[in-house]
Structure 1
């Protein structure tokens, strides 16, 4: 196993390994590229899409090709490859993988690479269905604020780092995505377990779970392979999934939680609260993102900081200044005095939390929602309709396919029709994006908050509303 921890190479050190990453423009693979390069490896990659991320990688000196091809292996345009990294979503029959195996090149799953990073030293792995990106970002920001110098692997751009990765000498903080079933074979020193629901389940997706029970058993395996778990006491059923843990700690508002957020004081811009560890008051904290779910995310970060010996006040100050990672309650700008926010929420629980957060701003809540994937919509459209009912207005786009084939009878209007049947008078199906922009530009007023919401490309509309060039970030 290759040691990816920072170290001083000996005088006779072998040449650095050359890693080639398929899908390097993805948020996870690009983070791997940055971490590997920072540790002295040679890195190249390829991606079928040209994005702002691939452009940034090129400016950082990482070679990126604009397509997947066996020629990357056979022609060696960036030199001989030692390790080819691919996700489980890449078919084993892909010509680039076939060429690598034929050439005797190691083909390493991306989760195997993450496993090495997690086992190289003190590590914090964030697992769960919701809130992983925000919680991972908050943990890394809190530890950095407390001068614990973390490394980080995040599924979003963290403004404080200007990147989705950070290299430091302290603990390694990683978002561990359950959409890749191989995550269940991993473990970390501390597993932060946020919640468990039924996302990434069913269908023919290569990385999806057959049943929710199988997925939750994966969470339990990850916890059992970790030294300790810090679980959210407010989420029902998590404790039952952690019976194999060596050490169990909890956080939340629940009376029996080890780390508690008490005396919540919400305002339009966020929430102030008091943090207690059992009978001890650790201090006052604030999160500059609305919603109780973000209080819990911040509480998890402060609990981790406490476990790793960081100064509470310094970590709390860093969190108070934290504005969130990209696409997680990201304030984009204003339109006619209306606040424009973009959020990645795409399943019912996340959507409901985002709508509740929007109401905390004390503005009229206007949502532009893009359903994500036909299978997910088929599984959850009644719950999505219910989650959106609390919004004052909903403009509904077509389903973002995300490479899925359409499913007969599954359409965005299932959501809008159900909402109308349930008495919502402010929901409209508007598949024409130009019409969405026209409606909002003509009607936005200072008392509004407009939230573009979904896991597809709805984020572009937020930037167009405030006249920012919608280049993917």
Structure 2
């Protein structure tokens, strides 16, 4: 398959020149969130006056304050005084006092996805979509581009160590993680869509940002790639090619024989995987990802393919990726306990959990997982699959469900997962909701041949810090 070369990249997202009129004032609700705080940084870099508010002070909000962004604790109607644009998630109730005050004052209320759309359309852009791997793939693309001599801007749903933040200001292209949990994503447009996979996460229930059916969600994916200038999709994931049928131009990546960009001759070891990259049968060179798991080979391959499409030097991009250790909470090496390696991972649905277990097995160590199920609805929908995904671990300690503000569902409990594993013949699983007991037990039993992985989208990450005696 052939692809039309890109035109020269114009400047994108560079700090704006001195305005001739007062800069617009954007106020961001929930500014302590991983995505909204990235918006704050990108807007401030463009010369926009930025403020925000959040119910929960955090290290992220403190960082924003140190960067000169005003952050209020809590929510109040007074926050919208003098504001030009109020940015809020679609999940915020329409009767929220700040939204009511904004409408009464004639302040524009802009959904977060509309703001991301504005950034994507402003310059050459890469939008990363898919059920799994978005944060890691987006980070890898930005890191590879930077290493290859480009100057990307980036919007990431995690902290990228190379940037020290969840955003990077650069001349472009603009690389953005696009979250399908917000239904507004389907209306966005970008120059290059990177499509990692499609499953049934963020489907069902009464959440404002969830999809009613998986078919509706996948139609959203198809709409997004159909509006992009071209799509680069994973050829290894069943069904993606059909969802990309409406894209103006299609390219593929993966291990599959017909992929435009292929990873071949994989050589896994305890620390990661080395492999060869080919483009339509021609060897581009050797690459390495210093994160275990086949899924990370695919993430790195996507990053190298995108960098190649934008004219970056392959060898330099590959070197940057070889040094990349991952964004925060994505296979994050936290430290050690009695010689055991302590890792934290955001895996919270069955596919991600299975991938994280496979990555842990690749290290050759005894795999010990502390798993925190996430959301009652997700647990209700997938507890048998979660149990199956964890079966490859040598030992699994199950915490209580992280509610994420959901109302408990009668009969849905973390023991559904542990009981299912016991019924499946796993001898090393137990429900252990007392976190202090988890810490005491692992401190007593950890050995140098172990890898301990705290796993889940809730606050299980705190346990990894406690085990490794690292400040949270």
Tell me, which stretches of 5 or more residues in structure 1 are unaligned? none
Structure 2 residue aligned with 1:447: 449
Which 4+ residue blocks in structure 1 deviate beyond 6 angstroms? none
Aligned equivalents of 1:8, 1:158: Cα separation in 2: 24
Structure 2 residue aligned with 1:276: 278
The 3 A distance-change label for structure 1 pair 383 and 40 is same
Structure 2 residue aligned with 1:58: 65
Cα distance, 1:6 vs. partner? 2.8
1:357-396 Cα offsets, whole Å, 9 max, x none, are 0000000000000000000000000000000000000000
8 Å CA contact retained: 1:250, 1:258: yes
Structure 1 residue aligned with 2:14: 6
Aligned equivalents of 1:150, 1:13: Cα separation in 2: 27
Structure 1 residue aligned with 2:323: 321
1:42 and 2:49 matched: yes
Aligned equivalents of 2:379, 2:117: Cα separation in 1: 32
Structure 2 residue aligned with 1:18: 25
Secondary structure at the counterpart of residue 49 of structure 1? coil
Tell me, which stretches of 5 or more residues in structure 2 are unaligned? 1-10
8 Å CA contact retained: 2:15, 2:47: no
Aligned equivalents of 1:13, 1:110: Cα separation in 2: 27
Among 24, 36, 47, the alignment partner of 1:29 is: 36
Q: How does 1:47-446 map to 2 (within 5 A)?
A: 47-73=54-80, 76=81, 80-446=82-448
Aligned equivalents of 1:390, 1:279: Cα separation in 2: 35
8 Å CA contact retained: 2:190, 2:228: yes
8 Å CA contact retained: 1:127, 1:194: yes
Cα distance, 1:8 vs. partner? 5.1
Secondary structure at the counterpart of residue 268 of structure 2? strand
Cα distance, 1:466 vs. partner? 1.2
Secondary structure at the counterpart of residue 406 of structure 1? coil
Aligned equivalents of 1:313, 1:4: Cα separation in 2: 25
**TM-score normalised over the length of structure 1:** 0.97
Secondary structure at the counterpart of residue 383 of structure 2? helix
Cα distance, 1:15 vs. partner? 1.1
Aligned equivalents of 2:68, 2:470: Cα separation in 1: 27
Aligned equivalents of 2:244, 2:318: Cα separation in 1: 28
Aligned equivalents of 2:167, 2:269: Cα separation in 1: 31
The 3 A distance-change label for structure 1 pair 223 and 345 is same
User: CA-atom RMSD, angstroms?
Assistant: 1.0
8 Å CA contact retained: 1:128, 1:196: yes
1:377-432 Cα offsets, whole Å, 9 max, x none, are 00000000000000000000000000000000000000000000110000010000
1:26-57 Cα offsets, whole Å, 9 max, x none, are 00000000000111111100001111111111
8 Å CA contact retained: 1:4, 1:39: no
